[in-house]
Amino acid sequence: MTVKPPADRDLAPRYVPWSEEAALAVMRALPALRGPLLPVLHALQESFGYVDPKAVALVAHELNLSRADVHGVLTFYSDLRTSPPGEVRVQVCRGEACQSVGGHALAEHAVSSLSVGFGETAADGSVTLEEVFCLGNCAVGPTVRVNGRLHGRVHAAGLDRLIRDSTPSGEPA
């Protein structure tokens, strides 16, 4: 279960720490589905913030799949992560529409100001930076998503402000 952040600030959702019992509870709370693997992995990630590699055997057992099947799916989809995300999750759109209105500069600014590369989490766990290929906000780019919240017409200064406002301590990330 995730705890909702206060409405006026884009704080990261608080995740439940990984445990086998909690994972089983999440899985068993889902309705029976045909082709259930992706919904199950989504549900685990929503609860824990990531899919712990220890979940592979558990999911395989529960769904009567091989561990290779589960590992294969877990590593195929870019949304699914196997380590906890940072406190602030910044996703920058790299699609062509955003490129045409300054997306490259925004992406470079994100990397240099946060001192992390795309796909990386800062060593202190403060921030995760990700690139996304299109957030469907193509007429009001450049677009970023900070802790799940979409923002359009964002340039360097706007991104700094969004990240500052999302950092729980109020300090720059």
Q: Provide CB contacts within 8 A for 69, sequence distance 6+.
A: 37, 60
73 touches another protein (CB under 8 A): yes
Task: State the minimum distance, in angstroms, from the CB of residue 124 to another protein.
Answer: 26
Q: Is 111 in the site for another protein (CB under 8 A)?
A: no
Interaction between residue 122 and another protein (CB under 8 A): no
Q: Which of 9, 54, 153, 155 binds another protein (CB under 8 A)?
A: 153
For residue 86, what is the DSSP state? P
| Dihedral sign of CA atoms 102, 105, 110, 113 in order | negative
- Cβ nearer to another protein, comparing 19 with 61: 61
Among 25, 53, 54, 77, binds another protein (CB under 8 A): 77
CA 158 centroid distance within chain: 20
Q: If binding is defined by CB under 8 A, does position 98 make contact with another protein?
A: yes
Nearer to another protein, 148 or 168 (CB): 148
Q: Check residue 35 for interaction with another protein (CB under 8 A).
A: yes
What is the Cα–Cα distance from 123 to 153, expressed in whole angstroms? 29
Question: Strand, coil or helix: what is 90?
Answer: strand
